[in-house]
C-alpha cells in the first residue's frame, strides 16, 4: 500500500511506494520499442558491411567496416532480411549514379559484393589497354602520385606492388595509381598493375535494369568484365540485386587485434579512416 507523508508545514508529499509490476512492464515496453527501432533502422535506413578483400583499393581496405544506405536505390528482396519478396521486384526503385560505390548480391551465389558503378542502362562500355571507353569516348585517366598501402595482417603486397619501408619505418606496398574521371565529373583513384587479359573488353551495351561495375583495384577485381559465376565474376548486375550505397566508414582494423586483449583492439584500429564518407 502506498504511504503518504506530510512536510513540516503540512503539505502532502508524493507516495513513497511503487508498483513493481508497472515498473517492469514499462521497462519491457521500452525494450520492445527499442528493438523495433533498431530493426527498422537496419532494414530501411543503414546496414553494416565489412570489406573482405582488396578489390576496392585504394579507397577501401580489407578490414574496413562501413554503413550502406538502404533507401537511395529502393528496397528489394536483396536488401530486406529473410529474402522477402516485394510486388514488382523493387519498392521505390532508384538508379545509381556513375561512380557510386554499391553493395549488391552476387547473381549466382548470393554473397555480398562491393564495386563502383561505371556503366548505366543503355551505356556502351568497353576497355582498351586498361582504359575505360564509355559511349565511344575514353574516360579521362591521368597518372597521380604512387599509393602507399600499409602492410598488415589483412593487407598484403600484390604482384603489381613493391614492398618497402616508409619514412616512419613501417612496411608499405607501393602501387602506381591513376585518377579516373567519369562523365558528370565523378573522380576517384584506381590501381593498375600492368597489362592483363582483362584490360581489353569488347564494347557491349548495358541492358535495361542492369549495371556495369568494376573494382578500383583493376587487376585484382572480379567484376562485370567477367561472366557471372559462383565466387568469380558478376557480369551485368541486375538493379534488383542492389543492397545499398556505401556511405561512411565506421571502423577500420589492420587485423592484428587479439580478441582476448581489449587493448589490442585500439592498437589495431586505423583511426584516421573512421568517419570517411564515400
The set of catalytic residues is 55, 115
Residue 75 CA: distances (Å) to CA of 85, 91, 181: 10, 5, 29
Report which of 245, 201, 246, 248 is spatially closest to residue 221, judged by C-alpha positions.
201
Q: Are 209 and 238 in contact (CB under 8 A)?
A: yes
192 conformational bin, left if phi > 0, alpha if psi -120 to 50, beta if neither: beta
All three cell numbers of 139, joined, read: 574516360
If we measure between CA atoms, which residue out of 214, 220, 216 comes closest to residue 196? 220
CA distance 242 to 92: 13
Instruction: Say whether 16 sits in a helix, a strand or coil.
Output: coil
Amino acid at each position: 500500500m502506498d504511504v503518504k507523508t506530510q512536510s513540516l508545514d503540512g503539505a502532502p508529499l508524493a507516495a513513497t511506494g511503487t508498483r513493481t509490476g508497472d515498473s517492469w512492464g514499462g521497462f519491457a515496453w521500452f525494450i520492445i520499442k527499442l528493438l523495433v527501432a533498431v530493426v527498422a533502422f537496419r532494414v530501411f535506413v543503414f546496414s553494416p558491411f565489412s570489406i573482405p578483400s582488396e578489390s576496392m583499393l585504394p579507397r577501401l581496405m580489407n578490414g574496413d567496416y562501413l554503413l550502406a544506405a538502404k533507401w537511395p536505390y529502393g528496397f528489394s528482396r536483396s536488401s530486406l532480411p529473410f529474402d522477402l519478396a516485394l510486388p514488382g521486384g523493387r519498392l521505390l526503385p532508384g538508379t545509381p549514379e556513375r561512380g557510386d560505390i554499391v553493395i549488391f548480391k552476387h547473381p549466382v551465389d548470393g554473397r555480398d559484393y562491393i564495386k563502383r558503378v561505371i556503366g548505366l542502362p543503355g551505356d556502351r562500355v568497353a576497355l582498351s589497354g586498361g582504359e575505360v571507353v564509355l559511349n565511344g569516348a575514353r574516360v579521362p585517366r591521368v597518372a597521380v602520385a604512387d599509393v602507399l598501402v600499409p602492410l598488415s595482417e589483412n593487407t598484403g603486397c600484390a604482384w603489381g606492388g613493391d614492398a618497402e619501408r616508409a619514412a616512419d619505418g613501417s612496411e608499405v606496398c607501393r602501387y602506381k595509381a591513376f585518377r579516373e574521371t567519369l562523365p558528370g565529373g565523378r573522380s576517384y583513384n584506381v590501381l593498375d598493375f600492368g597489362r592483363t587479359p582483362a584490360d581489353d573488353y569488347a564494347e557491349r551495351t548495358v541492358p535495361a535494369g542492369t549495371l556495369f561495375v568494376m573494382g578500383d583495384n583493376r587487376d585484382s577485381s572480379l567484376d562485370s568484365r567477367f561472366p557471372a559465376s559462383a565466387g568469380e565474376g558478376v557480369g551485368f548486375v541486375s538493379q534488383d540485386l542492389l543492397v545499398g550505397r556505401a556511405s561512411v566508414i565506421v571502423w577500420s582494423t589492420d587485423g592484428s587485434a587479439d580478441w582476448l586483449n581489449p587493448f589490442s583492439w585500439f592498437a589495431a584500429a586505423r583511426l584516421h579512416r573512421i568517419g570517411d564518407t564515400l
